[in-house]
Amino acid sequence: MVFNAITSNGDQVNEFLKINNIPQVCGNVDIEIYNRWGQKVWSENSYKNTWNGESNESKPLPDGTYYLIVTFPDTNDKEKQIKTFIDLRRDK
C-alpha cells in the first residue's frame, strides 16, 4: 500500500512517504518522484520510508501534486511498477 499524501511540516504526523510492508513483502523497492513538468526531483533505490518532500539536493519542494513510480520485484522476480501520485502539503 502506497499512501498518497504527506504533510512534511514538523508536527511529527505524516512527515514521510510511507509504503507498508517493505522490504518484508517485496524486497528492494525503488522510488522515483517527478514534478508536474515531468522532471525527476527525487529518487532512491532500496526505499526505507524516508522521503520528506525534499529534492535529491536536500531542498524543500513546493506544495503540490507529484507523480510517483514505485518499482519492485513480484513473486516471480519480475519487475512490477505502481504509478500513482503524491500530494505534498506543508501547512500546519
Rounded to two decimals, what is the model's pTM? Answer: 0.83
pLDDT band at 73 (very low <50, low <70, confident <90, very high): confident
Residue 34 vs residues 13, 40, 75, 77: alpha-carbon distances, Å: 23, 4, 27, 26
Model pLDDT for residues 6-57, shown as the tens digit of each residue: 777 777 677 788 887 665 556 688 999 999 999 999 999 988 888 999 999 9
Q: Give the whole-angstrom CA distance, residue 86 versus residue 2.
A: 9
Going by C-alpha positions, the residue among 2, 1, 17 that lies closest to residue 89 is 17
Domains and CATH numbers, the chain: 5-88 (2.60.40)
Predicted confidence band at 61 (pLDDT cuts at 50, 70, 90)?
A: very high
Lowest average pLDDT, out of 20-24, 61-65, 67-71, 84-88, goes to 20-24
